[in-house]
Amino acid sequence: MRQSFSVGIGGAAGQGVATPGDIFAKIFSRRGLHLNAYNAYQSIIRGGHTFLTIRTGPDKIATIDGKIDLLIPLNQDTMDRHLGLLGVGAACLYNAETIKPGTPAEGVQMCPIPVSKLADISKNKVAQNTLAIGAGLSMMGVGFAALEEVLTEQFRRKGQAVIDENVSIARAGYDYASQNFKPFAWPLPMTENRYAVLSGNAAMAMGGAAAGVKFYCAYPMSPSTGVLHWMAEHARKAQIMVRQVEDEIGVINMAIGAAHAGVRSMCATSGGGFALMSEGLGLSAQAEIPVVVIDCQRAGPSTGVPTKTEQGDLWQMLGAAFGDYPRVIAAPLDIGDCFTLMAEMFNITDRFQCPGIVLCDLLLSEGRLSVDPEVLNFNPTIDRGELITSNGTADHEPYKRYKITESGVSPRVIPGVPGHTHTVSSDEHDEDGVLISDEYTNTTKRRAMMEKRMRKVQGIEASVPPPEIVGPANADVTLIGWGSTYAVIDEACELLREAGITANHLPIRWLVPLHGDAIVKLLKNAKKTIIVENNFSGQFARYLRSETSFVADGHIRKYDGEPLFPHHIVNAVKEQLAGNTTLSVPVHEINV
């Protein structure tokens, strides 16, 4: 079983949950530990309830699992909601003066901190947080120097007095814990590894920058806003033009305009914003202008549950924009892949001059993961496809923007080149861009142009690898998932093996093209297939069935707004192997 340790910090929004989270994350990653963090929160700026989980350990940790080893409730609500997640060996650090302890399970250490005795709470409103960080790290067996270093960095901008005050409070908490509380049985180890810790949104923004994005625009919408924030903050250093636009309709069209002018152009949104972008996506396809759109899925429909995760937009992506046209859709498997996928997506959309959709979700967008810095390669292959950037010979043939070719790809000219003026159009057009809608007879031209565009599909398929099964052949069960469920299924497979059930995993990264034939071949001899997804109706299961006629033996679906945990899958698989059901809907442990 992979060794891990989870810290849960909860409180009202505005109570300062994020800062302790950042401090723990920094200390864990500087010890060379992997970590994964997820924040369950409400759409509210102050008040409500927010619960941040950080799971760490020397092995790869890419999920949280709902089990908490150290709980830091910053208010009574958190104590009441989350104490039940603690088991043998876990501890709860709380303000003895404001929070009433609940009844813990057996083997849980309750650690009351006399906050006003240890710090001047009239001067420092978040003293309880800082004391708890100090106390927690003391119990984890982490030396104080590590905390002092991070606090110094954290408060550098606020001056030495603020640093000193926080360090001294943290020290008081550290010392109090070492005298009064029992240390954890498993001291936090150290390794030589060094990881970058980042969110999926930051990873996608950086991946875009590495892929050569020169124009980024967006309208703020959770959970995609982090992409805009990274881009805006780093725009000048990265030489990227970043614009906040009046609405998502403007966003996609502005991105298309920039792409047509010849730069790599990207935008991000969530389902509701994407709905507004659909029309523009069709323009990208018809005018054959490559553009990359990131959709960070949140729970819908409509405004839905703005701060909760779901994989409910797949069918919107498959059907986005009216008409029939080639598109590319891929779902990153984890936060590192959020970076890697961007350059691949841009290369494909540039080569095939069509829209590309990166289908992320809140779990990855706003979660954080330790990533090997090697993964963040700012020198990826950049393939801009068939592009005319200069006049070449002055006596070239008359330029035809939509020249009918075998591949369906017509060489694209960057506007500004002499001798190549032409019009691109959202209306159906002839090879030279002239609209055909006003002609008496145009069925032949329409058909030729439709076939030209659709020929790209074969090329797209050939340039994307088919999915592969991860894990042992002839497993008792094959779990199929797409996008963000990757790490959860991966860990579930490991837990199942420990329980004597062999399991393997088919993660789907490219949704369009799907490589249906290859998938059917892989699944043909599977003993039992179960599709895992974070939505109600089994959007991927339906899609797979429509493309291949393949019907899975079972389904695991969750649609309560929180992510799947590995043990949800383990329990469901056991239930299904026992023949009790073919549809499992795991119940989330706690209302956050």
Partner 1 sequence: MATEVVTPKAMVMADLKGKVDPDWCPGCGDYGVLAAVQKALVELQIPKHQVATISGIGCSSNFPGFIDTYGMHTLHGRSIPVATGFKMANHAMTVLVTGGDGDGFGIGCGHFVHAMRRNVDLLYIVMDNQIYGLTTGQTSPTSRLGMKTKSMPFGSIESPLNPVSLALSAGATYVARGFSGDQKHLTELIKRGIEHKGFSFIDVFSPCVTYNHDNTFQWFRPRVKRLEDNPEHDATDWVAAMEKSLVWGEEIFIGRFFERNDLPSLNEAEPVLKAGPLVQQDVRIPADVAKSFVDELM
Under the rule (CB under 8 A), what is the footprint of partner 1? 29, 194-198, 202, 206, 209-210, 212, 214-215, 217, 234-241, 243, 245-247, 249-251, 253-265, 279-280, 283, 287, 373, 376, 378-379, 382, 414-427, 432-435, 438
If the CB atoms of residues 218 and 573 are measured against partner 1, the closer one turns out to be 218
Minimum separation from the CB atom of position 286 to partner 1 (A): 10
User: C-beta of 426: minimal distance to partner 1 in Å?
Assistant: 5
Cα–Cα distance, 190 to 577 (Å, whole number):
40
b/e per residue 296-312 (b: at least 16 CB within 10 A): bbbbbeeebebbbbbbb
Min dist. Cβ of residue 32 to partner 1 (A) = 11
In the bound complex, what is the minimum distance in angstroms from residue 329's beta carbon to partner 1? 22
Q: Sign (positive/negative) of CA torsion 241, 245, 250, 252?
A: positive
Q: For partner 1, which is the closer residue by CB, 113 or 343? A: 343
Q: How far apart are the first and last CA of the chain?
A: 27
Closer of 11 and 208 to partner 1 (Cβ): 208
- Closest to partner 1 by CB, 260 or 456: 260
- Nearer residue to partner 1 within complex by CB, 68 or 198: 198
Distance CA 57, CA 309 (A): 25
| Least spacing, CB of residue 371 vs partner 1, in Å | 8
Chain-centre distance for alpha carbon 294: 10
Closer to partner 1 at the Cβ: 323 or 579? 323
Q: Which is nearer to partner 1, 382 or 551 (CB)?
A: 382
- Stated as kind and residue range, the H or E segment containing 250 is helix 248-261
CB nearer partner 1, residue 56 or residue 311: 56
Q: What's the closest the beta carbon of residue 233 comes to partner 1, in angstroms?
A: 10
Least distance (Å) from partner 1 to the CB of residue 15?
26
Q: Which is nearer to partner 1, 418 or 500 (CB)?
A: 418
Q: Of 169 and 204, which has the nearer Cβ to partner 1?
A: 204
Least separation in angstroms between CB 320 and partner 1:
14
**Angstrom distances, CA of residue 389 to CA of 263, 345, 364:** 12, 22, 38
3-state secondary structure of 447: helix
Taking the least distance from each CB to partner 1, the nearer of 217 and 511 is 217
Residue 267 CA to residue 277 CA, distance in Å, equals: 10
Closest distance to partner 1 from the beta carbon of 412 (Å): 12
What contacts 583, CB < 8 A, 6 or more positions away?
Answer: 554, 555, 556, 557
Q: How far is the CB of 563 from partner 1 (least distance, A)?
A: 22
Contact 538, 484 (CB under 8 A): no
Q: Is 143 in a helix, a strand, or coil?
A: coil
How many CB atoms sit inside 10 A of residue 494's CB? 17
Q: Which is nearer to partner 1, 370 or 529 (CB)?
A: 370
Min dist CB 268 to partner 1, Å, is: 15
* Contacts of residue 414, Cβ cutoff 8 Å, sequence gap at least 6: 261, 262, 387, 388, 389
- 400-435 in b/e form (b: 16+ CB < 10 A) is bbbeeeeebbbebbeeeeeebebebbeebbbbebee
- Please, where are the H alpha helices in 266-412? 271-287, 314-319, 335-352, 362-366
Please identify which residue in the block is written with the tokens 């591949």: 407
Of residues 42 and 154, the one with the C-beta less far from partner 1: 154
Q: How far is the CB of 417 from partner 1 (least distance, A)?
A: 6
Which phi and psi angles does 580 have, rounded to 5°?
Answer: -80, -30
Cα(378)–Cα(544) distance, rounded to whole angstroms? 34
Nearest distance in Å: CB 327, partner 1: 17
Alpha-helix runs per DSSP H in 58-159: 76-82, 115-118, 127-140, 144-154
Tell me the one-letter amino acid at 66. Answer: G
Interatomic CA distance for residues 538 and 560, integer angstroms: 14
Alpha helices, DSSP H only, in 121-224?
Answer: 127-140, 144-154, 160-180, 200-210
Give burial (CB, 10 Å; 0-12/13-18/19+) of 288. buried
